[in-house]
A and B are shown apart, each in its own frame.
Chain A
Amino acid sequence: MIKKLIVTPFLKLLGVNAEHFYSLYSMKMKMDFRRTPSGMQAGGKKQTFGKQILMYGVVGLVMLPLLFAVQDPKVSFSILFAMIMVMTGSTMLVEFTSVLFDENENYILLPRPISSRTLLFTRLAHIMTYISIITYSLSLPASIFILIKFGIAFFPFLIGVFLASLFTLLVVVGFYMSMAQLVNGERFKDIINYFQIGLTVIILGGYQILPRIFDIEGVGNMSLEMHWWVYLIPPVWFAGFTDLFISGMQLSGVILALTAIVASIFGAFVVVRLLANGFDVVLSQHSEVNTKNKKTKRIEGESKGFLEWWSKIVCVSSMERQGWNFANNVTKRDRKFKQQVYPMIAYAIILSVVMLMPDFKNLNNFWQEIAESKKYLAFIFIGFMCVVSASILPYTDSPEASWIYKIAKPKNTNHIHSGALKLIIFKFFTPIYLFLICFTFYVWGIQEAIYIVAGALLTVLWTVFGITLQKQPLPFSVHRDMLKKGGYTGRMIISMIITGVIIGLVFGVTLLPYWVSYAVIAVVSVFISLAYSKIRNKRQIPNKVLF
């Protein structure tokens, strides 16, 4: 009934073929629920989506203190919606870009008579389904709080969450589509990588700026000054929409609520109706880049230099060095791996600045103040990206190539695994951490830098030890589809929690005599070495199914 009376006419208005959409969408959902590990991935564990939802719910608990503390609902809701939009935007960028441009599906659908609008709308609806599940899980604790405290405002809040996620999704897709009009297909994928990093920075930066627009006189008494430019800030629209049912009909609230609705619906109209015409061209450019890469791209004299030299120091066998080189080559060229890891590096850099909580108005005092504080401990937090980078090591788009492990001696494959793991940690974690250690040394002094070294080693230990615990499959042997939708963000959150625990441990060490930190470094180094040795000597699980 709803389908016939509301959805189908709406689809027609957008220029989407309703029958095509219903068939494709239902098939996509069916396929997602059917994905199971097979063949080479038989040893891997399937992470259930239910667990992830639960995890997002737990993370959503961090939003509760905000709702309790801030009196003005417009303020607390604005921050809440900003958080939701940050999560939606970053999840879309990191996890769903490949779903939007799905190359394999392009081969299936582009030669068939399906319109660009229908294709784009179907992919958006598919992505929006997962984004909605994630954002509703995330905002579940807040929803319950709002239901209890404000009653009826619970329903507009739920609608607001949907509209905010939709709007964020449309902004990201709108950017992609606009960019596709400007950039040659050849460069498009590379630009997407940079764009992902850039937008992540903008989103997170905006997230930090938002609280600064409020007139802060103690957290509980924050108030929202309705300057003209406040109406231009999207989270405030959705907050205004929800607040309308709490504070009553005020002109500012009505304007914000209307903006929230119009921006989301009109955004959908603009993206699907106006920008979608170029979508199949964008997709064909993707296929083109694929074709071009396969046929003509040469790897010309890539210098291994320092990495190769360093591998001779840290790798214990020639097979481990092979694993190191193998991982280096793949991570350098695998666009999807880069799409997942690089934005996270951007996160890490921003977080390390944000955690210092700089006061830009009074920088001189700020440097003096932080030198007397223990804010350097926050740098350890960026270690979460080390854990996540290592955890995605087994995923690839072509696991078939891992047949090579089947004919190699188990001892050799183990060494390849440990070598690859060393490379990931060295390549994606060490440079940023080294910089932070130097920075800590400069601002705080040698002892504080030693604490950071201890934190880094604890993070590495957890990463390597965690991999032996999980019985991680061999590098690049599991299809990327097995990384469940939303799973990547989930891993990031778990890793953040773990690094939080490590910060707690190092904080504990700072309260003890100095020599304890040196002892910790020594002991942890031994354990890291043992953990690597455990990976090198692990028993291989025999694969029952070959492909």
Chain B
Amino acid sequence: MNNSAIIIQGLRKSYGRGTNRKEVLKGIDLEVKGGQIIGYIGPNGAGKSTTVKILCGLLKDFEGDIQVNGLNLRDHEMEIKSKIGYVPETSAIYETLTPNEYLSLLATLFEIPEVKTKERIDSLLKFFGMIEYADQRMDSFSKGMRQKILIIAGIINNPDIIFLDEPLSGLDANSVILVKEMLTKLAEQGKTIFYSSHLMDVVEKISDRIVLINDGVVIADGTFEELKLDNSSLEQVFARLTGSTENTEESKAMFESLN
């Protein structure tokens, strides 16, 4: 699949008014091909989550033009929402439900036929090693277990495009491997993965293309091979491009204050 899955043109978003106005996105232009895994990275407050929230319909008041699967986001929100998956950075689940109940509810909202629902939920829970907890209330789950449910909820509708906002938060090493494997396989099936994170090592390994944003604008866009210089890691590329320093003065002061 090589057609454009996402086209973002002149995306701007600001919060506040008057002197308190803060422009978080200052004109993002991006085209994502179908089947790509995009690593969307940037420092804290760069505008990563805001971009993802706009693309998923959580934030509506923005400037610019967005097309998803060839459809304009403002005009075809429902069609687009039925074709995308979203894994939020916050642990947004109905905690007092069981995974079975919660995922069945989402399946109903996506109008997945009942006969398929059970089978799909079971296979996803098995893949993530959660089948034995299928009928336990999620308020007793650890952070990692909740994160797995969030990821399952993000793909239960077999979406064409999956937006993930810090999806590995709280997961153990084995689960991280599982998620990476799952994302790679989904991309092989032609799914587009929009992966927002600041975990550079994972982004470096799974992404076909890396988009680095800083202060609301795209400052680098290309494959890891294109972005790195010599043998530098993505972490080093990130530090170089976002102007981060070692803050020696600040660290010295901090350690002194602890003594």
Contact = CB atoms under 8 A, between A and B. Distances in A.
Interface of A: 19-20, 23-24, 27, 30-31, 34-35, 38, 104-115, 184-187, 280-281, 284-285, 287-288, 291-292, 295-296
A104 B97 CA distance: 14
A280 B58 CA distance: 9
Contacts of A114: 109
Contact of B15 (A35, A284, A296): A296
A111 B56 contact: yes
Given A34-B137, A115-B78, A285-B61, A292 B15 contact: yes
Interface stretch (B84-92, B124-132, B196-204): B84-92
B109 A295 contact: no
A287 B94 contact: no
Contact of A185 (B56, B61, B97, B106): B61
A15 B92 CA distance: 27
Given A23-B109, A35-B96, A115-B78, A284 B58 contact: yes
A186 B108 contact: no
A296 B16 contact: yes
> Which 8 pairs, one residue from A and one from B, show the smallest C-beta to C-beta distance?
A107-B92, A292-B15, A111-B86, A113-B81, A113-B82, A111-B56, A34-B96, A23-B108
A216 B27 CA distance: 68
B58 A110 contact: yes
Given A23-B108, A34-B96, A109-B109, 7 more contacts: A20-B109, A23-B109, A107-B92, A111-B88, A113-B111, A288-B59, A291-B53
B90 A38 contact: no
B105 A186 contact: no
B167 to A, nearest CB: 14
Contact of A30 (B16, B17, B101, B140): B101
A387 to B, nearest CB: 30
Contacts of B205: none
A296 B22 contact: yes
B105 A24 contact: yes
A284 B60 contact: yes
Given A35-B96, A291-B49, A113 B86 contact: no
A27 B58 CA distance: 22
6 contacts: A27-B101, A108-B92, A111-B81, A280-B60, A284-B59, A291-B50
A113 B78 contact: yes
B45 interface: yes
Contacts of A110: 56-58
A112 B49 contact: no
Contacts of B111: 19, 113
Nearest to B107: A23
B15 A112 contact: no
Contacts of B179: none
B108 A20 contact: yes
- Contact-residue bracket for chain B: 35 or more
B61 A284 contact: yes
B16 A112 contact: no
B212 to A, nearest CB: 19
| Residue from A104, A111, A186, A296 whose CB has the most chain B CB atoms within 10 Å | A111
B176 interface: no
B105 A27 contact: yes
Contacts of A20: 108-109
A103 to B, nearest CB: 9
A186 B16 contact: yes
Contacts of B17: 184, 186-187
B59 A112 contact: no
Nearest to A285: B61
A19 B101 CA distance: 15
A456 to B, nearest CB: 40
Contacts of B139: 38
Interface string B131-148: 000000101100000000
| Residue from A31, A106, A113 whose CB has the most chain B CB atoms within 10 Å | A113
Contacts of B90: 104, 107
Interface string B11-41: 0000111000010100000000000000000
A106 B58 CA distance: 8
A287 B137 contact: no
B49 to A, nearest CB: 7
A187 B20 CA distance: 12
A295 B59 CA distance: 15
A200 B247 CA distance: 53
A392 to B, nearest CB: 22
A440 B56 CA distance: 59
Contacts of B96: 30-31, 34-35
B93 interface: yes
Contacts of B78: 113, 115
A223 to B, nearest CB: 53
B57 A19 contact: no
Nearest to B84: A111
Contact of A31 (B53, B79, B97, B110): B97
A108 B93 contact: yes
B57 A111 contact: yes
Contacts of B94: 27, 31, 105, 108
A30 B53 CA distance: 29
A295 B46 CA distance: 10
B16 A292 contact: yes
B108 A19 contact: yes
Contacts of B60: 280-281, 284-285
Contacts of A280: 57, 60
A295 B137 CA distance: 32
| Residue from A105, A108, A296 whose CB has the most chain B CB atoms within 10 Å | A108
A536 B227 CA distance: 61
A105 B108 CA distance: 16
Contacts of A23: 105, 108-109
Nearest to B21: A186
Nearest to A107: B92
B82 to A, nearest CB: 4
| Residue from A19, A110, A280, A281 whose CB has the most chain B CB atoms within 10 Å | A110
B45 to A, nearest CB: 6
Contacts of B79: 113
A38 B105 CA distance: 24
A115 B78 CA distance: 8
A105 B101 CA distance: 15
Contacts of A115: 78
